[in-house]
Structure 1
Amino acid sequence: MEKWSPLSKLSDSSVTGEVFINDLRKAGELDGIEEKFRIVNIAAVHISEGKGYLSKVYRCDVTFEPLSGVNEAPPSLSVALKQPCSTAMDAVFNDKNETPEMREKAKGALDHFHDMIKKFHNHECTFYNIFSNSGLPLPKLYGSSEWDENNEGYLLFEYVKNGKFMALDEGLTLGQAKSLLKFIAKMQAVGYQKKKLWENKFTRPDFGNSDADVGGSIMEKVGKGGSEAFKKLHRRFGKFYTDHDTVKFASGDKWFDFGLPTALTHGDMWSSNLNFKTGVQSDEINAIIDWQVVHDGNPMIDVSRILLVCCDSDVRRALEPTVCQFLYDEVKQALGHAPPYSIDDLVISKRYADLSSLFFAMFLPGVHFHNDDDETQAKKARFMQRLEDLMEDQISIIEEHFPTLLVD
């Protein structure tokens, strides 16, 4: 008797075995297999805990056995199943240490967040349907369903293997960072070439409209850790976690007021979404995942996120002086003509993108390093040093261009 049932759900997801198998058949992944083997089990294991904040990801291992008369060894097949989910952020906002007043504020923020998750999932479905065969390093899509009144939605992918996802505390090498900058340029070029297919289909994320008190309580806790130098720097950035207007400004909304040229933007390009090939080609990108917040936005936001959040200070400082020229040249070469923005546009855009990346970097330690064990705390300490270096370097820039964002 088969161990899996067509009507049984995979792990705690809402996707049934029948939906799973039908999508694999439609994608051709079972061609040549079912003639010789039958499926005896589908084991789904949650693999995204501590990494994903907008979804849950499962590795689904399909077990086959030979049909009568077949003497071949059965193949192996692993598939990634992704469903929109807010469990991780629910836990963050509903921290037991919060006051009743903060819990009430958290409830409002979570309601807003849940609405965003639904929208983001549907964006990702649209993105893969348009860009799956565009030459970008994306996992192969086997099937998808948008979130509507009848179901929660899902995405079924090729399981990314033979590669390494980056840990937040593990800074990118110079070679890895350069590979990502080239990828961003290629992505923007492909985006311009396909713009008629996706224009007006992605709305930009509005994290800046969340209640400053809720996110601020998390960032305030971050300020209690780190060195004395870090605590002093953190106080200078006090408005980033106490003042709603500053939160909105720093989260990137202000940049759109200038009417500068936009580009296709991943929007969430940080360590957990970056997979590099292992071995001697460790600088070569294997896959970029999690396209929920893809949008038409600031052409420097992905660049800034890579440099400021994912690189230690030595790599960041080596790349920053020429990064605007580098992006411009790479996009121009990929397009065969000049991009719609100028280098001056990119310089201005990076200034605002860096505010957003700094804001994100200040928020991350409060939601990413949950455990109190020595290993987790050592990882947190490494990231906190990166954050301290970043804040130190950003102070003079913000004093020159955005002095009202700082506390005197």
Structure 2
Amino acid sequence: MSLFTPADGILKTHLTWDELQNGVFKAFGADAKFGPNKDVKDIGAGNGCLISPDWKSELKNVPQIFIVKICSQLSMVENQAIMENKDFINEDLIKQFENYVKQNHNVEVCLYELLKKYDVTDIPTPKIYFTQAFSEENPLNGYIIMEYVGDGTLYHLSDNISPEHMSQVMKALAKLQATGMKFTDDEKAHFQNHPYIVLFSKMLNEQGSNGFMTMLRQFGGERMKDKIDRLESVLPEVLDIKLIQEMPKSLGMEPVLCHGDLWATNLIWKNGASELELKAVIDFQNAHFGCPSVDFARIFCACMGSKDRKDNWESLLEKFYTYLEKELGAHNMPYTLDMLKKAYRLFFPLGAFLMLPMFGPTLHTINSNTDVEYKTKALMVMFEKAEGLLEDIYDFHQNNKQQR
């Protein structure tokens, strides 16, 4: 049995209702018993499932619905199935990643435990009710019971967030980095496996790179052919995975706590009358100590249109830096603002390239929608982002070469 094969549990995972009930007892107490009309709803790959417990008795201060994030590779298998090109994500790769997926789940569990230990309440995250890590005794059932942010909205690659609203993300990242600086050396040791080194060094071999370029051409068609050709001419130079690992030391930066997978669907927003409010940052399974530009490049590429990203990345980094200074107070800063900007420029070509694989599954979702008006608008946003990324990957790379 493995995480990438369907099972008889909740939503075809290995987690059964009886096993979840045991976790619920630990989270909410012995009276928190599922009723006969308990229900589960899949709310999207990577977002977990929504549990309606139908409590047998009336309970105080216990949620009537909650999220269970079940660690599984089934969504990866589904993405592989819908992609026309099988070289980028294939069955062998999925099997290789099982241990990686388990380790990442345990990283997220550890981070939530440390946020609780240090009484960190000002980083916007869902309430965590219970966590279960993988272990030798528990090889198949890693999961997290957490708050359902009912008034929240997820945005996607086909949406744009304004630079003004992105300031809230900058503030959350400043708080995350400042929190990481409180960790002991033993606690930091849990976050030393860099996800990009492990994950993409396997995915971006020659076969994977060729498969990805094929997928990119299918997405871009004739419209993006010239830009894709230009990118492909420098691709071996761009795919310098070790750059990320070596960058903090080479620039004189202290490694800081990074989210590691900060992109559009890992932010939950609340729509106000005229403002967006960042309600929660989620999915910390790729948290690690490394170069902060990993988070900035990824979130800017995913959430902002190309023009907004180009015009505002420097001012957003400057705003972030003032937030970090405020969070750290008298504590020494882990790097200078100039170092941060240089790290962003150096990492951008690789970071932006690693965002492009997400366009394939998102395009599939858009094309399956029957709302013509939505589809037209979403595709317009997607192509504007993708074309801008293709241009800037090449331009940043060439500028970086000239600066060396």
- The structure with higher relative contact order (CA 8 Å, sep 6+) is 2
Where do residues 238-277 of structure 1 align in structure 2 (5 Å cutoff)?
A: 238=232, 243=236, 246-249=238-241, 252-255=244-247, 258=250, 260-277=253-270
| Structure 1 residues 216-253: Cα deviation after superposition (integer angstroms, max 9, x where no partner) | 41332222333745221111111576x4x642448834
Aligned residues: 379
Deviation of the 1:162 alpha carbon: 1.0
Name 1:46's counterpart in structure 2: 42
Are the equivalent residues in 1 in contact too, given 2:161–2:303 (CA < 8 A)?
yes
Deviation of the 1:199 alpha carbon: 0.8
Are the equivalent residues in 2 in contact too, given 1:139–1:287 (CA < 8 A)?
yes
Are the equivalent residues in 1 in contact too, given 2:297–2:348 (CA < 8 A)?
yes
Q: Does 2:325 align with 1:332?
A: yes
Where do residues 170-249 of structure 1 align in structure 2 (5 Å cutoff)?
A: 170-196=159-185, 198-202=187-191, 203-205=193-195, 206=197, 207-210=199-202, 211-226=205-220, 228=222, 230-238=224-232, 243=236, 246-249=238-241
Secondary structure of residue in 2 paired with 1:137: coil
Mapped to 2, the partners of 1:266 and 1:90 lie a distance apart of 24
Are the equivalent residues in 1 in contact too, given 2:152–2:268 (CA < 8 A)?
yes
Q: Relative to structure 1, is the Cα distance of residues 364 and 348 closer, same or farther in structure 2, using a 3 angstrom cutoff?
A: same
Q: Relative to structure 1, is the Cα distance of residues 131 and 240 closer, same or farther in structure 2, using a 3 angstrom cutoff?
A: farther
Deviation of the 1:122 alpha carbon: 1.1
Mapped to 2, the partners of 1:38 and 1:80 lie a distance apart of 15
Q: Paired residue for 1:64, among 55, 61, 79?
A: 55
Mapped to 1, the partners of 2:352 and 2:269 lie a distance apart of 24
Deviation of the 1:365 alpha carbon: 1.4
Larger Rg: 1
Name 2:385's counterpart in structure 1: 386
Deviation of the 1:78 alpha carbon: 0.9
2:41 partner letter: V
Mapped to 1, the partners of 2:242 and 2:356 lie a distance apart of 12
Where do residues 312-331 of structure 1 align in structure 2 (5 Å cutoff)?
A: 312-331=305-324
Structure 1 unaligned segments of length 5 or more: list them: 1-7
| Structure 1 residues 27-86: Cα deviation after superposition (integer angstroms, max 9, x where no partner) | 3x358x76xx9733321222223xx3xxx711111113568xxxx99x861111112222
| Structure 1 residues 149-174: Cα deviation after superposition (integer angstroms, max 9, x where no partner) | 43321111112211111122111123
Worse-superposed segment, 175-184 or 189-198? 189-198
Name 1:165's counterpart in structure 2: 154
Q: Does 2:120 align with 1:134?
A: yes
Q: Does 2:304 align with 1:308?
A: no
Secondary structure of residue in 1 paired with 2:211: helix
Deviation of the 1:288 alpha carbon: 0.8
2:103 partner letter: K
Secondary structure of residue in 1 paired with 2:220: coil
Are the equivalent residues in 1 in contact too, given 2:34–2:53 (CA < 8 A)?
no
Deviation of the 1:179 alpha carbon: 0.7
Mapped to 2, the partners of 1:370 and 1:148 lie a distance apart of 36
| Structure 1 residues 66-117: Cα deviation after superposition (integer angstroms, max 9, x where no partner) | 68xxxx99x8611111122222322444568557xx49x9344223322311
Secondary structure of residue in 2 paired with 1:193: coil
Are the equivalent residues in 2 in contact too, given 1:251–1:359 (CA < 8 A)?
no
Q: Paired residue for 2:70, among 68, 77, 83?
A: 83
Secondary structure of residue in 2 paired with 1:276: strand
When normalised by structure 2's length, the TM-score is: 0.82
Q: Relative to structure 1, is the Cα distance of residues 225 and 22 closer, same or farther in structure 2, using a 3 angstrom cutoff?
A: closer
Name 1:297's counterpart in structure 2: 290
Q: Paired residue for 1:116, among 74, 97, 100?
A: 100
When normalised by structure 1's length, the TM-score is: 0.81
Deviation of the 1:311 alpha carbon: 0.5
Worse-superposed segment, 303-312 or 107-116? 107-116
Q: Relative to structure 1, is the Cα distance of residues 160 and 193 closer, same or farther in structure 2, using a 3 angstrom cutoff?
A: same
Mapped to 1, the partners of 2:321 and 2:18 lie a distance apart of 47
2:175 partner letter: K
Are the equivalent residues in 2 in contact too, given 1:252–1:355 (CA < 8 A)?
no
Mapped to 1, the partners of 2:103 and 2:57 lie a distance apart of 43
Q: Relative to structure 1, is the Cα distance of residues 156 and 239 closer, same or farther in structure 2, using a 3 angstrom cutoff?
A: farther
